[in-house]
Amino acid sequence: MANRLLRYPYHFFINYVPNHILNKVPSYNIRNFVYRKIYGIKLGKGSSIHLHTRINRFNIEVGTNSVINRYCYLDGRGGILIGDNVSISPETHLITASHDFSSREFKYFSKPIKIYDFVWIGSRATIMPGVVLGKGCVVATGAVVTKNVKEYDVVAGVPAKVIAQRTRDLDYNCCWKPPFD
């Protein structure tokens, strides 16, 4: 019985606080400080997690000058590694765990997502478990990425397919911090 009672404060602190209280605090400094110091997210200089982003587990590492915009979902169960100067647009889902639909036991699995430098992910895209997004690639709005994307490829659709190539001489950063976001 005592063990059961101890689980409630743990789940409150690990699930409820970051996803229903902290993610609504209108200050980068406070929010990102708590993500770093209390929840252990490795968040590089100039990087930010915007308002209303939901986080499931905290096995997440973000490089420098990268932005995770509003209302994203970060599933850190399998691990997420995000490089430098990455722009993740609003309402994007990074999903690292799922179930094997062909398994009689509905077997659970998780695989890490790796996102290299200068990647741009459009709004409402979904990145599935185990996907690697190569340097400078672009994921179009609403795409569902189920396979690795090569450097500088532009992908779109469900499932995502290559539709174009991106320029290779990229020189920007994603250190965007408007007030109260």
Active-site annotation, residues: 99
130: enclosing H helix or E strand: none
The residue length of the chain stands at: 181
Which residues neighbour 103 within 8 Å (Cβ) at sequence distance 6 or greater? Answer: none
Burial (CB count <10 Å: 0-12, 13-18, 19+), residue 30: exposed
Scan for tokens 């994307």, then name that residue. Answer: 149
8 A C-beta contact, residue 48 and residue 67: yes
Strand 153-156 and strand 161-165: pairing? antiparallel
